[in-house]
Structure 1
Amino acid sequence: MGLTLDLARMLLSSRHHGDTPSPTCFRRVLTIGRQQLYLRPNDLDRLESEFDIGGAFNGFRTEWGEFCEPFLRQILDCESIDSIDHSDFEAATILHDLNQPVPAELHEQYDLVLDGGTLEHIFHLPTAISNYINMLAVGGTLVLGTNANNHCGHGFYQFSPELFFRVFSELNGFEKPTVVLVQHPFPGGELSSHTRCMVVTDPDELRQRVGLVNDQPTMIMVKARRSKRVEPFSSPIFQSDYQRQWSSHELHSTMQAATPPAPQGFVGHCRRFVGNTSRSIQSRLPTSLKRQINGRKQLKAYSFGNRKFYHRWIP
């Protein structure tokens, strides 16, 4: 587990919140496990050219795979850095099994909680996420990177963007999170800086599921800012499309569904004609062919080429 180039970019972009001109303070930092730093000299040059942070990179050099504390101190100006782990094999400063609730003295102690690849290895997922939230101060930022697609066997879990949109929501005391999918060429995300980073649209905004079917390993990065104190998961978490269907069912049980408006104008009538003709033709096709057509439509929709779902991440 550790900081790749893209996670480092997310951290640096997190130093400025919204239109705030001054850097966000990451004075007190907690890393989930000891995080290694996977930055090459050209990666450092790239970060220095992308982010104007007053010459903080001057003289900074690191060996690939070393622990990240020097980077956090010099580049992010962090003052105190703790690490929490189940074992002391990497000399973490706090020993605790994140399958269990953290003690109250750790609550709201950190301005930045950083997980570069631990969450997928923790069995009691809701407890682990609750711990992350509880240890984060109000106004603090959570940054995490974990598995999305094509990492079967790496840990216990691979994650959907929907989970993080629903967990790090206003319901749990967070501002709207930034969720980014990072496609990389090798199973080890740290082995290459040639990645494709796409911001994910919240499925609740689109009122449909946002899926991805691809053939390369893909990790997911999340940045979430805690805006108020809320007991984690005091209200149940539901997938947005099911929540919408349940609400729609309750509405339709008391009123008749409205008839969609007829298309207006020449273009609207043309679209309606083409759509009706296409549906009429497909209805006469053999079932096997209809399945193939629908499957191809799904593959096209569940790709990075779907601009409703995804757009390029620019930190």
Structure 2
Amino acid sequence: MNGKKQKNGKLFLYKGEELLNTYATFTVQPMNNKGYLQINDRQYLGSFDFIVENGQYVRPINSVNMEDYLKGVVPIEMYPSWHIEALKSQAVAARTYALSYMNRELIDDTIMYQVYGGYIWTPNTTKEVDETRGQVIQYNGRLIDAVYSASNGGVTESNANAWGSASVPYLTVKEDTFDPKSVWNFSFHKNQINVSQLNLSKPIEWWTTVKEADTTFSNNIKMWLNANGYANKEIKIVDIPEFKLHSPGSGGRMSKGNITVEFFVKDMLDANGNLAIQRVVLQNVNISKIRAMLGTRVMLSYLVGKWSQMIIS
């Protein structure tokens, strides 16, 4: 079985333990147009270009026919058992969305764009992609920004509120009576670690045994801190003395937020040799930054207060 590794910005192609060659980039494609390729036990049509990304990772880029791509998107973005007209609508929206990025930028296979599963076609979704072949949505002769979501909480949002772009008449604030309005909530403690009984001059005695009050919540914040100035540091979240979401737009979604996080970094001591409290303060920042810190699976939406609840103790 062939394998690919990167070293010093080059791709190394192996067959078993045998090194076959090195490349700056590498392209693979099936021997015939009915074949497929496989990565991590998942099948894909089309070809793959392998590149070294950021000098660290091997990035596979799948080039595939647009209609075949859509047949790998629709059954993930919508249940294949849903009504055929819903599947058709999803196919047209997904096609419009993908085509709007042609010659503009690469799109990945995650919720950052559209989720793509490769060659995982189902009969219903394949049929509706075929029946809508080439169909797109336009406004004033141009492809619309065909964004969509699993749920909008019962109220759609305007593109101007969401992204600050010029308002368009097809992305406005309005009630959605068909949305299930799924209720969500999260809670956390302001005080994550009680430091009053800890010897701050000897963190080695307790560092591995003392845990934060809300581990998932605090782990998300630690990952954010690792990516924002504290790379490869061991961190303990101590307190969240301030947390506030504010400035709702016309659609009711919050647009700004404040948060203060106090924490220990294992190797950051004060002049007396004690662990020193570190502090990150975000004031009046875009709410997307707050959500990135807390975690997208903790804070499910910016629509807070109507169908959601936060409990801070």
TM-score scaled by length of structure 1: 0.25
- Structure with more of its chain in helix, by fraction: 1
Bigger Rg, structure 1 or 2: 2
- Structure with more of its chain in strand, by fraction: 2
